[in-house]
Structure 1
Amino acid sequence: MSTANWESNKEIQYFREYLRIPSVHPNPNYEPCVEFLKRQAKDLDLPIKVYHPLNVENPVVVLTWEGLEKTLPSVLLNSHMDVVPVFPENWTHSPFGAEIDEEGRIFARGSQDMKCVGMQYLAAIRALKKSGLRCKRTIHISFVPDEELGGFKGMAYFVTSKEFKSLNIGFSLDEGIASPTSEFPVFYAERTVKRVIFKISGSAGHGLLLMPNTAGEKLSYLTNKMMEFRAGQVKRLRDNPELQIGDVTTINLTTVNGGVQSNVVPPLLTVCFDIRLSLDIDVEEFEANLAKWCEEAGGGIELGFNASLRKGHIPPTVTNESNLFWVAFKRATDELGLLTKLQVFPGGTDSRYIRHAGIPALGFSPMNNTPVLLHDHDEFLHADTYLRGVEIYQKIIVNLANV
């Protein structure tokens, strides 16, 4: 397809218009997204509702295509409106220009993560409605805020609301990741995020002394323990080519704070580790080990964690014949001849809130043979890949909504 043909394609035009809305952190303004989606709803002849589960600055937009059997649990097609910050000096195209080059690459923040998916949902439904098709199940298409900062102002609140419960969701699709190969990753679970903070107290005094029980000694002990565990996970990943990053536990030291001046031994050091626990790790047992290491280090250490949804892992989505939605999804990808691979998502998405609410969810973005550029400079998606994704979603949506 030529550049002129890509630029004149209606769905590509809508996609580029959405990409040009700079709903970017740290202070995203979602109102232009809401107004754009209202115009989309009008074009699609679909009812639209705007909810404010937390506050007016963080709206949740839901378009609804009613099914023929309204009592059946519905299907949710979820995406987020917000995008991560950009550093324009490192881009060769305007980050919010949605420019198409001669190869058909559309450059913009959000082209992969994940304004593409939200617009592909709508494009697929536009094509299905035009064909005259009606589905058994109701389909809700949601556009939520704040996912890039953890979803605490968006999906986390929305799933607990009476408005969400009234949607009667039985299954959800959400974002995946681009694939540089012909394979399409399908994500059925996520690792458990543990941001661990050690507040380490110890003997303080002059730097010329060799005092016992200093915060620095305790920090060294804890760091060594954490890095030993990390090295074991690196070895697992290196030795088994079948494993993906989501199959192992990642541990990274992210911040160290403390100290008074260069010749004073400090009374307190604070260190933070970003930890993503793989599904084969017992969460409570891991936390108990951390507490044990604190005692072995000499005591006087306060151990803190980020707020978790639950004590253990959020149960993965079942991917066997007992889950009719999984069967419908897999049948669609098989009939399309797509090479798929089940994986654990390495980061965090809004799917964790959906699964925590007891609703099965899969992460899937139809972007194969595409470099992984989410959060990167010069993020792009090829126009043909985008349009092929629309066709893929048509098949998937029909299967899910008629199971």
Structure 2
Amino acid sequence: TQEIETLREYIRLSTTRQDDFSPAVDFFKRLGAEQGIEVTVFEANPNDPIVIMKWPGQDPSLQSIVILSHIDVNSACYEDGWTYPPFSGAINDNCEIVGRGTQAQKSVTIQHYEALRQLKQNNVTLLRTVYIIATTDQTTGSNGIKHFVQTKTFQDMNVGFTLGIGGPTDQQEISLFNRFKTQYVIRLDCYGVSGSSAVYPNSTAADFCGSVLKAYNKYREGQYKLSLRTRDSGDYTAINYIGGRTIIEYGMIPAHLAAYYVADLALNTTVEDFIEIVRGWIMGAGGNIKPSSVYKEEGGSYYTRTDDSNPYYVAIQEAFNELCIPFRILTTPSTTDTTSIVKAGIPAFGLTPIRNTQVLVNGVNERLPLTTYFEGLRIVKEIVTRLANIPEDKVADDPSTYLQSDKCNKYSN
């Protein structure tokens, strides 16, 4: 079907951060031209285009709806153990689409497009203008959307609400995200004695890095056990070692080693709290170790209301009720482009309409059952229809009315 073939074509476009995004931009321009829809491209930074597709509503003076996703995906290599090439969009014997982005987040982008295409094809009237926005740098920090929300281009869109991306789940309930964790990347530079690799010198950089690694593993194990007792990622810190750096010379023990750790912090843990934890690891190691911040994206001090005072939440709730699909309000496992939208004073939820599915985001053999893909399309179509048809008198003039200070988050004022 067209819905499947459009997704397969999109998956075949390699859109890692090392790639040229021009073919993907041309892909969206072609889709827009086929539907007679205006497509514009905002260049946030060199090779960081933001694609904007405008689906006009009946009353363009009303606050618009944005459905937000991203084009960029994490790297994937066939030699890592993929059954099919990761950018092939193959369909396996279990009727699953295989490829990078099938779960995060190319399938969602095409569901956004297909939902609006089908509504237009069926002559369904939408009261409010809907914008599809697709960014290209979420995997490396979301700087594009941070800049874009400050521009006149974005202000002129008169956005009242944004439906961004979330994450898939292996549970029966769809995950609807309204809080955002802080992501922090720290580098530890370990210094020690250098010497020949044929002897056993004491107090090497590897010795000190190894001591830190033991403390890290103990902390990580505790947080992992905590994660097993809750479904909300806001209750625990997810931390992982993501690599090191040194120059390899086979005959020499290096005097310097660097190690990188990424942490998505629990809502009750600030960056300052986490740095104190790391300092404890360093003191325990007893060596010359220097920590430095590499990247920080705070989750923010506000979240979108999930009660009857918020007409956007009510519309989403009614959509799920109509489809007889359960959902649960959760905290995102990490920051997303949607974080910047909320920081700009606009209510937003994150939603990836994938449930009852093995979670393989950024993993080998990432794949999506076709039945799940089509269910997600029905969900998006029902939600967008209801969001875009909320009457004018049901919505406050100030979108931030539907944001609430997060008293559970230590970043709150």
Counterpart of 2:138 in structure 1 is 147
Letter matched to residue 279 of structure 1: L
Deviations, residues 299-353 of structure 1 (Å, cap 9, x unaligned)? 864331123245x745333323343322221221122111112222224432222
Among candidates 292, 296, 303, match of residue 291 of structure 2: 303
* 3-state DSSP of counterpart to 2:296: coil
State the alpha-carbon separation in 1 of the partners of residues 247 and 96 from structure 2: 49
The alpha-carbon distance between structure 1 residues 130 and 193, as it changes in their structure 2 partners (threshold 3 A), is: same
Alignment of 1:1-400 (within 5 A): 9-20=1-12, 22-55=13-46, 57-89=47-79, 90-101=81-92, 103-152=94-143, 154-201=144-191, 219=209, 222-238=212-228, 240=229, 242-256=230-244, 268-291=256-279, 294=282, 301-310=289-298, 313-400=300-387
8 Å CA contact 2:300–2:343 kept in 1: the answer is no
State the alpha-carbon separation in 2 of the partners of residues 107 and 258 from structure 1: 36
8 Å CA contact 1:314–1:355 kept in 2: the answer is no
Cα offset, 1:215, TM superposition: 5.9
Point out where structure 2 has 5 or more consecutive residues left out of the alignment.
391-413
Deviations, residues 163-182 of structure 1 (Å, cap 9, x unaligned)? 22322222222223333343
Deviations, residues 50-75 of structure 1 (Å, cap 9, x unaligned)? 111212x2221111122233333321
State the alpha-carbon separation in 2 of the partners of residues 162 and 327 from structure 1: 30
* 3-state DSSP of counterpart to 1:285: helix
8 Å CA contact 2:178–2:304 kept in 1: the answer is yes
State the alpha-carbon separation in 1 of the partners of residues 207 and 100 from structure 2: 44
Greater mean deviation of Cα atoms: 194-203 or 330-339: 194-203
Counterpart of 1:3 in structure 2 is none
Cα offset, 1:203, TM superposition: 7.4
8 Å CA contact 2:233–2:330 kept in 1: the answer is no
State the alpha-carbon separation in 1 of the partners of residues 91 and 281 from structure 2: 54
Cα offset, 1:389, TM superposition: 2.0
Cα offset, 1:376, TM superposition: 2.6
* 3-state DSSP of counterpart to 1:316: strand
Letter matched to residue 116 of structure 1: S
Cα offset, 1:258, TM superposition: 6.0
Deviations, residues 45-96 of structure 1 (Å, cap 9, x unaligned)? 22111111212x2221111122233333321111212223232243333433
* 3-state DSSP of counterpart to 1:170: strand
State the alpha-carbon separation in 2 of the partners of residues 275 and 229 from structure 1: 12
Deviations, residues 124-171 of structure 1 (Å, cap 9, x unaligned)? 11222233333232211012212233333x333323333223222222
Letter matched to residue 113 of structure 2: L
8 Å CA contact 1:259–1:268 kept in 2: the answer is no
Cα offset, 1:277, TM superposition: 0.6
The alpha-carbon distance between structure 1 residues 223 and 180, as it changes in their structure 2 partners (threshold 3 A), is: closer
Number of residue pairs aligned between Structure 1 and Structure 2:
387
State the alpha-carbon separation in 1 of the partners of residues 360 and 180 from structure 2: 20
The alpha-carbon distance between structure 1 residues 165 and 97, as it changes in their structure 2 partners (threshold 3 A), is: same
Counterpart of 2:394 in structure 1 is none
The alpha-carbon distance between structure 1 residues 287 and 358, as it changes in their structure 2 partners (threshold 3 A), is: farther
State the alpha-carbon separation in 2 of the partners of residues 109 and 93 from structure 1: 11
8 Å CA contact 1:208–1:263 kept in 2: the answer is no
So what's the TM-score if we normalise by structure 1? 0.83
The alpha-carbon distance between structure 1 residues 354 and 103, as it changes in their structure 2 partners (threshold 3 A), is: same
State the alpha-carbon separation in 2 of the partners of residues 382 and 328 from structure 1: 27
What CA RMSD, in Å, does the superposition of the two structures yield over aligned residues?
3.2
8 Å CA contact 1:314–1:352 kept in 2: the answer is no
The alpha-carbon distance between structure 1 residues 199 and 99, as it changes in their structure 2 partners (threshold 3 A), is: closer
Cα offset, 1:188, TM superposition: 1.9
Letter matched to residue 345 of structure 2: G
Deviations, residues 206-264 of structure 1 (Å, cap 9, x unaligned)? 987878xx8667656644544443333233234x2x33455311233344556998998
The alpha-carbon distance between structure 1 residues 270 and 85, as it changes in their structure 2 partners (threshold 3 A), is: closer
Letter matched to residue 325 of structure 2: L
State the alpha-carbon separation in 1 of the partners of residues 37 and 265 from structure 2: 41
* 3-state DSSP of counterpart to 2:154: helix
Letter matched to residue 196 of structure 1: I
State the alpha-carbon separation in 2 of the partners of residues 264 and 131 from structure 1: 70
Point out where structure 1 has 5 or more consecutive residues left out of the alignment.
1-8
